[in-house]
Structure 1
Amino acid sequence: MESVNAMIKHWPAGGPEEGGNVYIPINLQYSPYTADTADTAREVSLAGGSPLEDFTNRGYEGKSVKTINATDMQLVKDTKAKMGDKPVIVSVKIAKPMVFSQIEVSAAAILVPMGIQEQALMEIITGAAEPSGLLPFQMPADMLTVEAQFEDVPRDMQPYSDSDGNTYDIAFGLNWNGVIEDARVQKYR
């Protein structure tokens, strides 16, 4: 418990010393985020606390978080600027949903390899293999969408729609012919 108390001293304002907690929003985008204090971020969380904590509210309304991948976004922007009219292909390794709106404006194509071998990824980029993967979960339209969803209700958020009108919902994927519409899509959608 002593190490937990030492960590708490480094958390933002509103921690246990001020009657709050140490929880901050999980950021799914490439820029800093403050949990909306209007109607979306919950002041009181649905989930209780840990037995190791002396509070039960994990809410983070009004708290801010910086992103650790801001330099990745800057790299994509710098690459796009240097490439001019040439297409920029961005490969994003993810293990959970993310907000794609910030990265899409700089990318001609976004690949989400989700654990495939690097060789397979290079074969797709070079055109030697056709992409066939489908998204295993919804990608949120924005952080307000993330805040508005319910923790205990599946598929209740507005998925992101890109500039081509593609909706990043469960079982969405593209191949060389466009949107994939096969038996897998029918099963999982």
Structure 2
Amino acid sequence: MVEKYFNVVDDAKDADFSIVFIESPKTVGYTKEEGYLPISLQYRPYTAVNARETSIAGGDPLESSTNRSYLGKTNFASNESDLDIILETRKAIGKKPVIVSLNMTNPTIVGEFEQYVDGIITDFGAQTQAIMDIISGNVNPSGLLPFNMPANMETVEAQCEDVPHDMKCYEDELGNVYKFAYGLDFNGVINDSRVAKYKIK
């Protein structure tokens, strides 16, 4: 599909830019051996040092304990290599642009890689052709974030589960805050009727 839009080269030094296709971090929240684990939104291993000692959920009659706390436990993303691919691509292509296409199933700690890339396109299962139409400039992006992108896992642990938008969001070096109803198009930050209706002050 990429070859329908651009000339694909074998050597990074011959490329004008690069595209890295990744997915949001994939972790499991429970294993029979370890019990409940933190559901991490980052690629690198995450240890829950700020989690509750006693969970607010529990008491299933099939469980021997009513405390589902994962305090002190570590979880690993099965696709941690996605982050490595971004960093390796940045190193290989030098100062030329790196664009990340992020397929999301959950909010993602983009702070692990945003500083190393020149653009991030997020989707929720869009066809590659739709992504390539945007990267090639054929279509102006118009999507808005449907949820907050947390600054880090510490703010995820600190949020209140029953309070909407109760989270410190990631902010990039240009001052863009990756929160609900935020989006960019080729003209800058999107500020249309949808944003006026849904944006949280």
Q: What are the within-5 Å matches in structure 2 for residues 28-177 of structure 1?
A: 28-36=41-49, 40-177=50-187
TM-score (norm 1): 0.85
With over 3 angstroms needed to count, the CA separation of the structure-2 counterparts of 1:78 and 1:141, relative to structure 1, is same
1:57 CA displacement: 1.4
Q: Does 1:26 align with 2:43?
A: no
Amino acid at match of 1:26: I
> Among 169, 179, 187, which residue is 2:189 paired with?
179
Amino acid at match of 1:25: P
1:151 CA displacement: 1.3
With over 3 angstroms needed to count, the CA separation of the structure-2 counterparts of 1:49 and 1:187, relative to structure 1, is farther
TM-score (norm 2): 0.80
Q: Distance in 2 between matches of 1:50 and 1:83?
A: 52
1:23 CA displacement: 0.6
Q: 3-state DSSP class of the match of 2:120? A: strand
Q: How many residues align?
A: 169
Q: Percent identity?
A: 51
Structure 2 gaps, min length 5 = 1-30
1:28-54 deviation digits (Å, cap 9, x = unpaired): 011001001xxx311111122434222
- Greater relative CO (CA pairs within 8 A, separation 6+): 2
Q: Distance in 1 between matches of 2:41 and 2:186?
A: 28
Q: 3-state DSSP class of the match of 1:111? A: strand
Aligned to 2:16: none
Q: Higher strand proportion, which one?
A: 2
Q: What RMSD, in angstroms, separates the aligned Cα atoms of the two structures? A: 1.2
Aligned to 1:14: none
